[in-house]
Structure 1
Amino acid sequence: MPNLVAVVVAHDSAEALPACLAALAVEGVPAIVVDNASRDRSAEIAAAAGAAVIRNARNEGYGRANNAGVRAARARRVLILNPDVTLRPGAAEALLAAAAAWPEAGLYAPRIVEPDGRFFYQPRSLLAPYLTNPSGRRDPPEGDACAPFLSGACLMVERRFFLDIGGFDEAIFLFYEDDDLCRRVAEAGRALVHVHAAEVLHGRGRSSGSEPGRVFRTRWHQAWSRAYVARKYAVADPVLPGLLANGFKALLSGLALRRAGIERYGGSAAGAWAALRGRSALAREGLE
C-alpha cells in the first residue's frame, strides 16, 4: 500500500491536468482523478497519464467528488489538490517529512505560489474565531508554522482521520469546504501545519474551462456556502447584508446595462436569497 495517493477533482480541466499529473508522476505520487462529468477530454487525459479515473455521470460538486476519491484511495495519506496545482520538486517528500515530525497534526499544506510569484497565505477565516484578525493583516510565515486556515487548493491528510471526521461536508456544492474542514480538524484537537519547504504552483482560476453562466453560478454558490457555514457554526450571519448589498449593485448594473455586473452581483444576491429561504445548494444542482 503506498504511503501517499493524490486525489484530483476535474471538471473541464483538460488544459490544466497534464502539468498537474506530470508533476505528481515526477514525485512518485500515484493519482486518482475524479471527473465531474467534464465536457472536454479530462477523463481521457487522466487515463493516458496513468491515473486511476472515477467518472461521475454528473457534476457532484467539489466536496462530494473529493470524498469519493479519498474513499477509493488505498494509502495511509491522501494529497488533495486542484488540477491547476503543480508540485515543485521535493514537495511531496517535504510534506511527508512534516507528517513524520508532527504526527499529531491533522492537516498539512504546502507553500502556495501564485502565477505572479506571490506567496498565497490567507490571514484569517470566517470560521476561525480562535484567531481574530479583523483587519486581515497579512504576515506570511517564514518557516513551518501552525495556521488557523489552510487552503483546499492543496492539502495532505491521513486518510482514516479524514473519513472519521466526515470528510468534506457534502451539503456544500462549492466554496468554504476547506474552511469547514479546517474548523472540524481544529475542534478535534489537531493542528493545521503550513509546511514551508513544500512548494506548489497554483494556476488560480484554471481548474475549469469557461462555460455560459459560470460567473452567476459561482457567485451563487459562494454566497450560499458562506451563509451555510456561518449558520452551522453560529458566527455572524452574512445573509441579509449580502442580499441587500449585492441586490442593490445588481440593480445599478441593470440600469447601466452592465451584463458582467448583473451576473456577478445578481448571482451573489440570488445565493443569499436562496439561503434565506432555506433552499439547499444540492437542490439547485439537482443532487438531492
Structure 2
Amino acid sequence: MIDVSIVIVNYKSWNALSECLEALSNIENTRFSMETIVVDNCSGDEKLDAFKIQFPKIKFVENSGNNGFANGCNVGANSSTGKFLLFLNPDTVANEAAIYELWQTAKNNPDFGIATCSQIDGQEKKYKEVRFFPSLKTLFGPFRALQKFLIKNKIKSDFSSDKNIIFPDWATGAVIFMSKNWFEKINGWNEKYWLYFEDVDICKRIIDVGGKVALIRNVSILHKHGGASRINIKTKALTKTEVLISQHVFFNDHSKGFQQFIIQFLLVFSLIIEKFLMLILGLIFFFVPKLKVNILIFKNLMSYYFSALANKTWTSPRATIYKKQK
C-alpha cells in the first residue's frame, strides 16, 4: 500500500481538472508516496481519452453514469491502494506541503476522522472555516443570526485566530482527508445524496462514532468555485434544486420524531413559497437568464416533492440508492 490516494470526481470540468492534475503531476517529494485516481461520471464528451494520454501516470476510472459526487468518491476509494484518502474537487490546486501536513496530522492523530485545511480563492482570500451542523436552530437566516449571537463567546474561543488546528462541525467536500480505516468504519460516502450535503453527512457520521473533524490553518489549497455545476441554465437549475433536496435527505437521516416532522414541514412550506415567488419573477423577466432559471428550479422542486410522496422517500431520485430501490 502507498501512503496517500487522491480521489477526484469529474463531470465535464476538464479545464479545471487539467490545472488540478498538472499541479499534482508536478509535485516532487520523497516524504510520502501517492497515487491519483480520477473518476469520470460519464461526461460523454469524448475528452477522457485525451486526458489519459496527457496524464499517463494518473489512473482514470469511467463510472457507469452521472451517479453523483458521493458515488464517484466511493468508486475512486474502491480503486485505491493508499492507507489514506484525499478527496479533492477538480477545481482545486493542491501542493506538496498541504498534502504532507494533512497526512502527518491524520497519521499522528488517529482520533481525527477527517482532516482538512484552509481553502483560498484566486485572490488568496480564505473561505469560511466556522461551520455548524444544520438544525432547527439554524434552519433560516434569522435563526442562524440569533444562534451565532447566543454562542458568540464560544465561537470566539473555539475558533480563535491563534489556533493552528480548529474543530468545525463539518468540512467542505472539496478537501477531505481521512484514513482508509475511518472510511471503512463509516462505510464511505452516503449515496443517498446525489450532490451537496454529502460532506456534511460524512462529517456528522464521523463525529457520531467518536471521531473529530480537524481543520489545519498553516497550509492551504486553492479552490476555484464553479465547475460543472454552472455549465448552463438547465444544469444550474438542476444543481440548485439538489441543494434543496439534500437538505431534506440530511434532516431525514439526522433528526428524529416530532423535531424531524417540524423541520421537514417548515422546509417544504418555506421553499414552496420562496420558489413560487421566484417563479413569478422568472416568468415576468424570462429574458434574464439569472431569473429564468427559477422557472426550472420550481418545476424540479415540485417534481421532487410529488416523487417523495409517491415513493415515500426523501432520497434524491438521481441517487444510486434510489435507482437500486426502483
Q: How does the TM-score come out when normalised to structure 1?
A: 0.88
More helix by share: 2
1:22 aligns with 2:51: no
- SS of alignment partner, residue 15 of structure 1: helix
* Other-structure match for 1:149: 170
2:317 counterpart (250, 261, 282): 282
CA-CA distance at 1:195 after TM superposition? 1.1
Shift of 1:92: 0.9
Check conservation: 1:80, 1:154, Cα contact below 8 A. yes
Q: Which of 203, 215, 232 is the equivalent residue of 2:224? A: 203
Partner of 1:4: 4
Partner residue, 1:48: 54
Distance 1:110 1:124, change over 3 A: closer
The alignment status of 1:261 with 2:271, answered yes or no, reads no
Alignment partner of 1:35 is 2:65: no
Change (3 A) 1:145 1:47: farther
Of the two, which has the highest radius of gyration? Answer: 2
Residue in 2 that maps onto 1:173 = 194
Instruction: Identify which of 257, 279, 300 aligns with 1:270.
Output: 300
The Cα offsets for residues 200-245 of structure 1, whole Å up to 9 and x where unpaired, read as 0001113567245111111121111111112221252322211211
1:129 and 1:79 map into 2 onto residues whose CA distance is 32
Contact 1:224 1:272 in 2 (8 A): no
Segments of structure 1 that go 5 or more residues without pairing to the other structure are none
Structure 1's 218 and 208: CA in aligned 2 closer, same or farther, altered over 3 A? closer
CA contact (8 A) 2:132 2:170 kept: yes
SS state of the match for residue 16, structure 1? Answer: helix
- CA contact 2:279–2:295 (8 Å) conserved in 1: yes
Deviations 1:172-212 (A, max 9, x none): 11110000111101101101000112310001113567245
Q: Please, which of 132, 144, 149 is the counterpart of residue 134 of structure 1?
A: 144
| Contact 1:228–1:275 (CA under 8 A) maintained in structure 2 | no
Q: Any gaps of 5 or more consecutive residues in structure 2?
A: none
Residue 5 of structure 1 deviates from its aligned partner by 0.7
**Other structure's SS at 2:14 match:** coil
Q: Matched residues in 2 for 1:125 and 1:80: separation?
A: 21
Letter in 2 for 1:181: I
Cα 1:43–1:172 shift into 2, 3 Å: farther
| SS of equivalent residue, structure 2 residue 219 | strand
Q: Using the alignment, how far apart are the partners of 2:219 and 2:294 within structure 1?
A: 35
CA distance 1:180–1:191, shift in 2 (3 Å): same
* Residue 214 of structure 1 pairs with residue 219 of structure 2: no
8 A contact 2:67–2:319 mirrored in 1:
no
Contact 2:137-2:144 within 8 A present in 1 as well:
no
Alignment-derived partner of residue 71 in structure 1: 78
CA distance in 1, matches of 2:52, 2:268: 39
Instruction: Say if 1:161 and 1:131 are closer, same or farther in 2 by CA, change over 3 A.
Output: farther
Write the distance in 1 (CA, Å) between the matches of 2:253 and 2:213: 21
Name the amino acid aligned to 1:172.
Y
Please state how far the C-alpha of 1:283 moved relative to its aligned partner: 4.8
Measured against aligned partners, the alpha-carbon deviations of 1:103-160 in whole angstroms (never above 9, x if no partner) come to 2110000110012321112433443789999226787653211221111001101113
Paired letter, 1:270:
N
What displacement does 1:284 show?
8.0
For 1:261 and 1:199, the matched residues in 2 are separated by 35
Cα distance, 1:276–1:182 mapped onto 2, change above 3 Å: farther
* Pairwise CA RMSD: 2.8
The alpha carbon displacement at 1:98 in A equals 1.0
Structure 2 distance, partners of 1:109, 1:128, is 23
Q: Which moved more, 1:120-129 or 1:101-110?
A: 120-129
Identity of aligned residues (%): 19
Partner of 2:87: 80
Q: Distance in 1 between matches of 2:301 and 2:108?
A: 43
C-alpha spacing 1:283/1:150, structure 2 compared with 1 (3 Å): closer
Structure 2 distance, partners of 1:268, 1:3, is 46
> Could you say which residue in structure 1 is the equivalent of 2:179?
158
Residue 282 of structure 1 deviates from its aligned partner by 3.2
Aligned partner letter, 1:103: P
Question: Alignment partner of 2:176: what SS?
Answer: strand
